[in-house]
Structure 1
Amino acid sequence: MLSSQPRRLRKFVLITIIAALSVPWLAQAEEVVTPGQLIGVKALSHPDWFKNSFLDLAEDVEEAAAQGKHVILIMEMEGCPYCYKMIQENFANAPYRDFIQEHFDVIALDTKGDRKVAVTAEMSMTEKEMAELYQVRFTPTLIFLDPDNRPVARITGYRHLDDFKLVLDYVQERAYTQQDFNQYALARRDADLYQFRAHPHIQDLDDLSQVEDTPLAILFEDGGCVACDALHDGHLADPHIRELLEGFTLVRLDTRSEAPLIDVRGKTTTPKAFAEALGIHYRPSIVFFDAGSEVTRIEGDLYRFHFGGFLEYVAGRHAESFPDSPFDYINAKAAELMAAGQDVFITDD
């Protein structure tokens, strides 16, 4: 005689399956997440007095020189909030807009663009190839050309109105034929404009080569810094930024100081000479080192999402996965957040 147990077991399994299918989280398909949005992307537009160039730079420079002008190349990227801010605040609505029009021809170029540019009579390339030629890593990057089509000044990132005007004066006066920008700025800036601010994470070190256990963040300031107070009142006072800074050794150097200093390589120098060796032209600037090698730097005003992203990039050693730019890491992070349904605010508006 066959046992009746198999029949009862089949009945039990069937009832169990039906019951399971009646449970909503098992029966229904996985919910589709609505992607988040990227908030703060800006569509670029230019003042009508920007030059409508045929992209023959030698010709543009020659035409500008005939009128006693210099050429400014704005290397920009569509959607870049810093490009938008600089064009609107430092050009279109600048208090010295007439000065720019009188002394400069301004040409906008797309760092991802495919338009052909004749850089010289012998060399032509696309806009994006030109961005590589000039080693443009961040937008906007402004390149000032002299009458011989040679770069004589450069700005990376957004600059405060007063700082930008100083660069304009430096080029317009042709001071580049006599001195570098740091020498020019030192003579022009009020040395008592800014008083150094205390911060709980800033350490007083005179031997940078001893920093081994954490990445090193060097904040370069001086008494003539226009934007330093804003940095301390803004990003450096933010709780999330302060939490990120716990993963760093943060040191401030006065770019006018001649005090003894051991740099990251163990060389005896001064804060002033070290800043000059690094090519620091903007205050405040932050240069990040890890194991004695520079990782990246901040040389312009950043919104908080990007400022924090730079700190994460260095502290998390994401340069190993994103060697070209911190913004590659930041963009990947933003994409991940949006895929999870979060809106990402890339500006502080």
Structure 2
Amino acid sequence: MLKKLLALIFIASMFLTNLNANEKGKVTGGSYHEWPSWFKESFLNIGEDIEEAKEEDKHVILFLSLDFCPYCTKMLDDNFKEGAKNQEYIQNNFDVIGINIKGSRELALNEEQSMTEKEYADYLKVMYTPTIIFLNQNNEQVVRVNGYRSEPNFKLILDYVKNKEYKNMELTTYLEKVKNKTFYTLKDNSMYKDISDLSKIDSPLAVIFEDGSCTQCDYMYNTTFKNKDVQEEMGKFTVIRFDATSKEKIITPDGTTTTPYDWAKQISLDYRPGILLFDDKKEIARIDALLFSFHFKELFRYVSGEYYKEYPTFLDYLGPRQQELINAGINIDLSDKI
């Protein structure tokens, strides 16, 4: 009787094991969004949209997004949604056009150049969503914002474009002049290495730029860096942190002598914390927008695992990677629920 009971328990356990093995993981944390009702109803003839905006001395904003994108929803809620602090200012000074980066609508950039929404996203090499393109009244791109920006940070960019400061200076120079640089104090972390000659580093390399105006640094330390999966992926890198205002001499991975201040300006890195990811001394990717923990750790894996050799963009990599995790029964949370 005991042998029969043990046999039944063994069979039951094998059945449950096989059942669990066939269970697929779930994706949570994403969110669907709709364009605010005041967004322009455009036929995606951008040249005509520019001319219409010009009549009211406005600029055109192209808001490129993706379904189920938590950053797109957060950007819309914090900056564009009816009642958001920046909403009225944007509506009064910009014509905003929504574009789906997987969409099939025909988009005419000018009289000579037309493509689908998806082809346009590929043309721009969109890596993050939302990607926000500001066009001047000559149909020229003057600012590109990759990913989410907080309300106060985005307002500075809006002012820069609205006041046509792009005619006078680069965005990084403008932000340096107008940002409050005193509310954040740089923090230490045990993973940071004190190395100034980055050309001697042979491992994958992560270079973090912070300064006193960093609105997202506390979030990075208090949430992102405390995620165990993030810690595991970052452990594969040599991690260096610089104060982006520092004038101390450093050597970049390609052997150039510069300073953190000059380097950040030279590569137009205006987001803090901005992170450059290198492999074999070449910049492969950068984080210049808010990333929640899943995407943060996967971007590090994309570089250290050399998946960039197979997938030309991080978005190309993400689809198969998410499916791999789902098939393995691993749940994916796209958001950190903030």
TM-score by length of 2: 0.90
Q: Which residue of 1 aligns with 2:55?
A: 66
Query: Within the alignment, does 1:346 sit opposite 2:304 as a pair?
Result: no
- The one-letter amino acid of 2:163's match is E
Secondary structure of the corresponding residue to residue 240 of structure 2: strand
Query: Within the alignment, does 1:174 sit opposite 2:169 as a pair?
Result: no
Distance 1:153 1:159 in 2: 13
Q: 1:249 to 1:341 in 2, by over 3 A?
A: closer
Secondary structure of the corresponding residue to residue 296 of structure 1: strand
Correspondence list, 1:200-349, <5 A: 200-212=190-202, 214-321=203-310, 323-349=311-337
Distance 2:244 2:320 in 1: 35
Distance 2:75 2:300 in 1: 24
Secondary structure of the corresponding residue to residue 61 of structure 2: strand
Distance 2:329 2:172 in 1: 46
Secondary structure of the corresponding residue to residue 307 of structure 1: helix
Q: Which one of the candidate residues 109, 115, 130 is aligned to 2:99?
A: 109
Q: For each residue in 1:200-227, what CA deviation from the matched residue of structure 2 results, as whole angstroms up to 9, or x when unmatched?
A: 1112221110111x21100011122222
Q: Which residue of 2 aligns with 1:39?
A: 28
Q: Deviation at 1:331? A: 3.2
Q: 1:330 to 1:58 in 2, by over 3 A?
A: closer
Distance 1:348 1:28 in 2: 35
Larger mean CA deviation between 52-61 and 121-130 belongs to 121-130
Q: For each residue in 1:231-265, what CA deviation from the matched residue of structure 2 results, as whole angstroms up to 9, or x when unmatched?
A: 12221233442333221111112222221111111
- The one-letter amino acid of 1:324's match is P
Q: 1:54 to 1:95 in 2, by over 3 A?
A: same
Distance 1:153 1:228 in 2: 23
Q: Deviation at 1:342? A: 3.4
Q: Which residue of 2 aligns with 1:119?
A: 109
Distance 1:168 1:28 in 2: 59
Q: 1:37 to 1:28 in 2, by over 3 A?
A: closer
Secondary structure of the corresponding residue to residue 186 of structure 2: coil
Distance 1:236 1:206 in 2: 23
Q: Deviation at 1:28? A: 8.1
**What is the aligned-residue identity percentage?**
37
Secondary structure of the corresponding residue to residue 73 of structure 1: strand
Q: Which one of the candidate residues 77, 96, 103 is aligned to 2:66?
A: 77
Q: 1:78 to 1:192 in 2, by over 3 A?
A: same
Q: For each residue in 1:178-197, what CA deviation from the matched residue of structure 2 results, as whole angstroms up to 9, or x when unmatched?
A: 00001100110122121111
Q: For each residue in 1:111-144, what CA deviation from the matched residue of structure 2 results, as whole angstroms up to 9, or x when unmatched?
A: 1111111111222221112122222222110000
Q: Which residue of 2 aligns with 1:10?
A: none
Q: 1:40 to 1:162 in 2, by over 3 A?
A: same
Q: Deviation at 1:68? A: 1.4
Distance 1:35 1:316 in 2: 24
C-alpha contact 2:125 2:313 (8 A) present in aligned 1: no
Q: Which residue of 1 aligns with 2:118?
A: 128
Distance 1:33 1:111 in 2: 33
C-alpha contact 2:160 2:171 (8 A) present in aligned 1: yes
Secondary structure of the corresponding residue to residue 218 of structure 1: strand
Distance 1:159 1:216 in 2: 25
Distance 1:125 1:310 in 2: 29
Correspondence list, 1:181-196, <5 A: 181-196=171-186
Q: Which residue of 2 aligns with 1:9?
A: none
C-alpha contact 2:234 2:297 (8 A) present in aligned 1: no
Q: Deviation at 1:311? A: 1.8
- The one-letter amino acid of 1:246's match is G
Secondary structure of the corresponding residue to residue 283 of structure 1: coil
- The one-letter amino acid of 2:65's match is E
Unaligned 5+ runs, structure 1 = 1-19
C-alpha contact 2:64 2:129 (8 A) present in aligned 1: yes
Q: For each residue in 1:319-349, what CA deviation from the matched residue of structure 2 results, as whole angstroms up to 9, or x when unmatched?
A: 233x322344343332122223333211112
RMSD: 2.2
Q: 1:328 to 1:54 in 2, by over 3 A?
A: closer
TM-score by length of 1: 0.88
Unaligned 5+ runs, structure 2 = 1-6
